[in-house]
Chains A and B, each alone.
Chain A
Amino acid sequence: MKKSIIFLIIYTTMFTVSCDTDKFLDQPLQGRQQLDDFFSTSSSAETFVNGIYQLVNGTNWNQVNFQRQINEMASDDNWAGNTRQPRPDITGIAQYNVFPGSTYFNLFWENHYIGITRANISLDRIPEVDIEEEKKQQFIAEAKFLRAFFYFDLVRNFGGVPIVTTYNEILEPSINDKVRSSVPEVYTFIEKDLLEAIDDLPLKSEQNSSESGRVTKGAAQSLLAKVYLFEEKWGLAQTMAFNVMQSGEYSLEPDFADIYSVDNVDGVESIFEIQYINNPAFPNIGGQFSITNGSRGDRGWGWASPTSDLENAFLSENDVIRLRSTIIKHGEPVFGDDTVTSFNGLPEENKSGRTNRKYYVPTDKRPEPYQRGQIPLHYIHLRLADVILIHAEAAYFNNDEPAAKSSLKLIRDRVQLPSNNALTGDALRDAIWKERRLELALEQHRLYDIRRQKINGVPRIALILGPEGSFVKYNTEVSTDPFETTNLLEPQNSGTLFDPNIHLLWPIPPEEIQLSRGKIEQNPEY
């Protein structure tokens, strides 16, 4: 009995001593840094800011890019296009039979806020990082630019949205009580971020080659000019655009076709672009649009096909140079791709048999395998021509017609189109708007432009779409386009359902309304 108890005591003691209980019970996170430790290294500021950039175009086709394409489809420049696969969340929205629960609205909303939170964390933590002050200020300015970029995208699509300004906010339970801010409040916040960013960002010429793609002072000024334009702050928009034009940092590409050439990454005209490369080891650092937008007869998905209405707009100006670099048509050769003499636009599966040339990669420049996330064609968010046209439009509304006309001329000269110096008033305004359509066609500007541009207070989109809209009338009564009038699987009257009382904004995703327990309210009539 005694022996047993001694044995037991020894046994139990051994067991207790051999086990360091704290070490046993502290099981640290494996394979991942913790946020609180992360910013202790000097490289952390840069790599964390890189993480914000990921959300500008998303790391997958559906996160943000595809909603941008759906926006194109919901304008007069594009059909939904793919008639093989009618989907309520794509084709339906293009027809203004808006499905609020669309996954693309949802992802667009969600991913922009993920980007905003990444920016907020950067702004919260980078001040403590041990790096040289100038770099620190630059990274903070980049985060502010990107945060402004995200809010600008949100406000243009959804109207007033909840504004989260700091990382600490989301750590508090009160975050769940947040409501939508008004549109002016969102714009005020965007302006503030951009004005602060402008001061600390480098010029493009000050960047070394490994930095190309990071935002510059010019990018912030250009975005701010555009923000002012959307706010109809004409004077500020004109001045800010002029700052960029006068900076000497950018110039128009002499050849229009080079803007979207695989061989012209970060060209002289580019102000803010997402660079894409082909590297099979990293499957999501290449582009998506060439596939999602490409013809179903050319290994693409066939979404967002240019309309004959857009083609007619080029033809009415005799704008050959830009047309051939904007639209590819079934059965015709592809400009800049000698190997294709008769393009397969697969009209039996595509509404218009047309494809966007700007996202097209010539056959001999394509990587193999040719697949999503691997296409090395950059995507431009801001370029000088856009800024010049912002300048022209702002100057016009700022009653500075001479400045407007000189900017307009810059754009037309490049593509060898004559300028009519006699234009004035509404005719000049319409010429600027048309130029904007042609110059920036299929670059994801159109829907925002026709929503904001107003004639006698009426948004232009209401004149283009709706039962009496010019685009709808053209398609249902005038058009003889051989492809569009034959493939009726996407109806000719697309856009009839447009209602200006509802459709100047997209619906707030129902998921968000449910998750916020109704505190985030739906846009009217949805």
Chain B
Amino acid sequence: MKYLVLIIGLFFLSFSAQAQNTVKGSVVDENNQLIPGVSVLEKNTSNGVQTDFDGNFSIKVDENAILVFSYLGFKSQEIIVGDQKTIKVKLTQDVAQLDEIVVIGYGAVGRDKIATSIATVTGEEINKVVASNPAEALQGRAAGVQVLSNGGAPGAAPRIVIRGITSPNGTQPLIVLDGVMLPASTSINFINPQDIQTMQILKDAAASAIYGSRASNGVVLITTKRGKEGKPTISLDATFGMQNIQKFKSAGAQEYINVMNARRINDGNTPDPNLAGFTGEGTDWWNEVVEDLAPVTNVNLRASGGSENIKYSASVGVFDQRSNLQIGFFQKINTRFNVDFKISDKLQLKQDVSVRLQNSENTPNILFNTLRVDPVTPVFVNQSERIGRNEFSIYGFSRNLVPNPVGQLARTFNEDNFNEFFTNTQLNYKINSDLTFSSQLGLTFSGWRRKNFNPEFELGPTQLRDINSVNDRIDQNFDYVFNNTLTFEKTIKDKHYVNFLAGALVDSQSTNFIRGEREGIPSNTNVDLRQLNGAEGEAQFVTGNQGTDNILSGVFRGIYSFDNKYIVNGSVRVDQSSRFPKDSRTGVFSSASFSWDVDSEDFFESEYINNLRFKVGFGEVGNQDISRDGQFFSVGSGDFVFGQERVIANFLGRFGNPNLRWETVRDQNFGVEMGFLNNTITFSAEYYKRTSKDLLFNVESPNFTGIPGLVAQNVGSFDSSGFDLQLGYNNQWGDFSLGLNLTASTNESRASELAPGNEQILGGRSAVLGNRFLKITELGRTVGLFYGFKTDGIFQNQTELNSHTSEDGTIIQPNAQPGDLRYVDTDGNGTINDDDLQVIGNPFADIIGGLTVNMEYKKFDLSMQLYGTAGNDVFNFNRQYINSGTQNLNVVAGALDRVWSPTNTGAEFPRLSEVDLNGNYQRPSDLFVEDGSYLRLRNLQIGYNFDFKGIKKFRLYVSGQNLLTFTKYTGFDPEVASGNNVINNFGLDFSRNPVARTFLLGLNLTL
């Protein structure tokens, strides 16, 4: 058949030879990079060529010929040849087409064949943000994908939450790298953003059910860049920047002293004599601890290319980030080498190798102490007092016993080395034109060493270490996946497309560690002696353990499409997991989805709408993310003394749950996709509803049970629902092009069922707020709400106090004085007690949105990204002390103006008091809850493309991150108020390192 066309073509070619011209030219993309392999076809003929390795072509055409240039992922372009002899063509990317091939797990199909909810973010978009990790770049780009900052310390990995909280335990999505499922704890931080071709987020269970037991929090599929046929391309991308964090305005010494004395005087006590006569403003700890600028450097080098039979892509990335404290850095080297071999027409081999070396020093979480330490303490003790002290003991011992943060930094010696070797081998064998067998083996070896040294020092009775010590921990991990699948793909009679997949999968993750600690390194300062065998002290401590998690699975999937109009997808996965007791270890997860492409229907005719598609999906996924030992009752061991000798003491160490079962999430997704004016405007909207049942959670039992620690339990069901909206606009006017992408999403997760004994899930206990739980999850309400006492302003005078009574006239707060908080006696029993606890805030936003703007004008380009949340509350824990000076802690500058006094009756915060008989600062209340809505300019980038001969691309840019934040929130940063456990910690702000403001200079160079 092919030959016949060729022969006929040749025939026509020779027949019309006289009237022909030769046209030469080249094809480039929007970045002026030459594109090889572009099809150049004379319209309405079979006369065609392809551009060569350099993107050049030469074709003989008729006089009135029209040339059609087309290439996958770009909009086709037609050019009337006329009398032109050379033609330079610039192809622009076709957003609709770019998505054409979508990775869907154990395979890839055309976008038009899927009926599920999958969001795609390209590597190019990711790298616009110049983020140190790809997760940051996802923020605001895909609707329904929320990225929660874990603070601004170097190397801190954000958390990704897809469509809200369906599971109280571990909300990180599963990450699948080129088909390899990574361990549950894997942060998306590990990958070099420059290696990413695309990231696909499987949002609904219809899409993710194929990943079964590990998919309940969504799945992120990462596809790395691979080589293309053509001449080698070498590119260099580099950025250099400076980071800056905002300093808090703490009180100086005089204001601090005034507050301390006011607290005593208000209680009828004398001023503190130890503070009398202090002159000056004392120590500005923020200046001592925080450095204004910290450098961040990122350099990437990539080479790719290949022939028909061997294609390669190799890259090296170096990243180096310093913290804004004297201590703390994060360095990373990523290398990746992806090769594709075409062994025969039937056999294809892909071999990827990647190595990661990471070296870091943990940034001490020291801002909390910097906030609290008193300003009357000097950084160092006087020269005269230093005699007989070692170099770690010359720091001032603070009056309020908060550790001297400068001294803490000086004593911080930690080293963290992580090395990982990853290899991914995939063999594809085409049994015949329809049937492909695929076998994939992914192996990951990693080693992690953490070492620290604690020097001997003495500042005072509670801040000392009599003997120095060295700690060394080594972890080794070995993970593998072994996937074998058979895929049948066929289009029958042009209209029926079928794609069936069956597979058998093995997933195994093992870890082991050994840790040792010894005391008595002979020198406090000789760095070379800080090894375990350098220690001479008697105390020795060694521990170690190992663990393995295994999953065996079978997967089946079918895709059927009729005439590209009606698409049906269905899948079933059967998993057996070692995390569960034998009787409950098997889980079956299935899904079905359907999509209707209305614009392909004959009856559909519209001038404006070029794409209209409806889809609906149902699916079920699971979660096994609970402690490996969750099912076991285990015996711990310790020590006791009889007869003046140490004896072994055994006890119940962990209370197991032999009835643990899978957590499953049922999910429904309804969506519509639209494109207007040839996709100038795109719109998509989805509504989803997810019900998770048998939720796995580590539950705290009442203490009288004597159960040690937490117990893994299946606690009940959560319902989560919301909308994901996306609106895009892309247009071009001459030299000016504009792209806008607006995303918005809503989500609410409610507890729809809670098992007996778990009617309330409590979390976030705070010792200073009376060991009360700050978070509650109750039946029928949003999960993880703030919990505490309601207040109703401040008592202005005795009359108000006396009239705050219950119905029978009991004075509700007999210990209160004017200036104290008025608590609401919600149960009306005449006293404020545990029965009055109420929900006092909601940490989850009503709406989360992002806006991305891309503009180009001639050689300039500008991109901008905004991100924001609205309607969420933050529990600002720092209000406990920064306005009260409790426990002699330092206060915020201007605190005296913020607190109530007879002359400042309009104040927001209650009166100062050391005794605090009313408990204003000893229990959780809405005094600590603030509006945490914010809008942040995440990224602004301006670039310019230079033309240099022989260089494909030379672009310089400047970029700023987190330049502007609009918020009413009074703490450090509303964005850091997340935490490790989304139910228990989310929205609680304990002053972690805030997100830094970054200024960058960057270069993109392609040869």
Contacts and interface: CB of A to CB of B under 8 A. Distances in A.
Interface of A: 1, 4-5, 8, 11-12, 15-16, 19, 21, 24-27, 29-36, 38, 44, 47-48, 50-54, 59, 84-88, 92, 95, 97, 99-103, 106, 109-110, 113-118, 120-121, 161-162, 164, 170, 173, 175-176, 178, 208-214, 265, 274-277, 279-285, 296, 299-302, 348, 368-371, 488-489, 491, 509-518, 520, 522, 525-526
Contacts of B467: 369
Contacts of A212: 642-644
Contacts of B432: 1
A145 to B, nearest CB: 15
A95 B635 CA distance: 41
B269 A488 contact: yes
A161 B646 contact: no
A483 to B, nearest CB: 14
Contacts of B772: 101, 510-511, 514
Contacts of B833: 522, 526
Given A26-B578, A44-B650, A118-B651, A35 B634 contact: yes
Interface in B766-806: 767, 769-773
A50 B646 CA distance: 11
Given A85-B887, A97-B917, A113-B705, 14 more contacts: A4-B429, A21-B552, A31-B544, A47-B647, A52-B651, A54-B649, A88-B886, A280-B519, A300-B461, A369-B467, A512-B703, A514-B773, A515-B702, A525-B831
Given A280-B537, A514-B773, A520 B916 contact: no
B431 A5 contact: yes
Interface in B752-770: 756-757, 759-760, 762, 765, 767, 769-770
Contacts, number: 273
Contacts of B546: 30-31
Given A27-B548, A29-B634, A175-B705, A275 B650 contact: no
A285 B635 contact: no
14 contacts: A25-B585, A29-B634, A33-B634, A51-B650, A54-B638, A101-B770, A103-B771, A274-B641, A296-B460, A299-B464, A301-B461, A512-B703, A514-B834, A516-B702
B704 A162 contact: yes
A105 to B, nearest CB: 8
Contacts of A209: 643
B645 to A, nearest CB: 7
B578 A282 contact: no
Interface in B610-654: 628-629, 632-654
A113 B704 contact: yes
Contacts of B644: 212, 265, 275, 277
B765 A164 contact: no
B502 to A, nearest CB: 11
Interface in B162-185: none
Nearest to B552: A21
A434 to B, nearest CB: 32
Interface string B832-864: 011101000000000000000000000000000
Contacts of A31: 544-546
A289 B199 CA distance: 59
A87 B916 CA distance: 11
Contacts of A33: 634-635
B646 A214 contact: no
Contacts of B274: 348, 489
Contacts of B769: 101
B650 A281 contact: no
Nearest to B268: A491
Contact of B703 (A113, A211, A369, A370): A113
Contact of A11 (B461, B484, B639, B649): B484
B914 interface: yes
A285 B770 contact: no
A479 B184 CA distance: 66
Contacts of A514: 760, 762, 772-773, 834, 837
B506 A19 contact: yes
B547 A27 contact: yes
B461 A509 contact: no
Contacts of B765: 511
A36 B700 CA distance: 23
A33 B632 CA distance: 10
A164 B705 CA distance: 7
B549 interface: yes
A210 B540 CA distance: 25
Contacts of B887: 85-88
B401 A85 contact: yes
B706 interface: yes
B418 interface: no
Q: How large is the interface on B (under 10, 10 to 19, 20 to 34, 35 or more residues)?
A: 35 or more
Interface in B586-621: none
B515 to A, nearest CB: 13
Contacts of B767: 101, 103
Residue among B545, B634, B923 with most chain A CB within 10 A: B634
A24 B550 contact: yes
Contacts of B576: 21, 25
Contacts of B770: 99-102, 510
Given A51-B649, A282-B639, A84 B401 contact: yes
A176 B634 contact: no
A95 B268 CA distance: 15
Contact of A32 (B437, B552, B636, B834): B636
Contact of A24 (B552, B649, B653, B773): B552
A34 B702 contact: no
A38 B651 contact: no
B110 interface: no
Smallest CB-CB A-B distances: 10 pairs: A101-B770, A117-B706, A369-B466, A51-B651, A280-B539, A210-B643, A50-B649, A35-B633, A32-B634, A27-B578
B635 A301 contact: no
A97 B915 CA distance: 7
B504 interface: yes
B980 to A, nearest CB: 20
A118 B585 CA distance: 31
Interface string B238-266: 00000000000000000000000000000
A517 B648 contact: no
Contacts of B628: 27
B124 interface: no
A50 B642 CA distance: 9
Contacts of B482: 15
Nearest to A276: B641
A280 B469 CA distance: 12
B737 interface: no
Interface in B965-988: none
Nearest to A23: B550
A512 B702 contact: yes
B538 A281 contact: yes
Nearest to A5: B431
Contacts of B915: 92, 95, 97
Interface in B874-933: 886-888, 914-917, 919, 922-923
A34 B635 CA distance: 6
B84 interface: no
B708 interface: yes
Contact of B640 (A19, A54, A525): A54
Contacts of A38: 635, 650
Contacts of A59: 638
A50 B629 CA distance: 25
Nearest to A31: B545
B327 to A, nearest CB: 26
A51 B703 CA distance: 18
A401 B946 CA distance: 109
A517 B506 CA distance: 44
Interface in B647-693: 647-654
A472 B652 CA distance: 46
A24 B579 CA distance: 11
B652 A285 contact: no
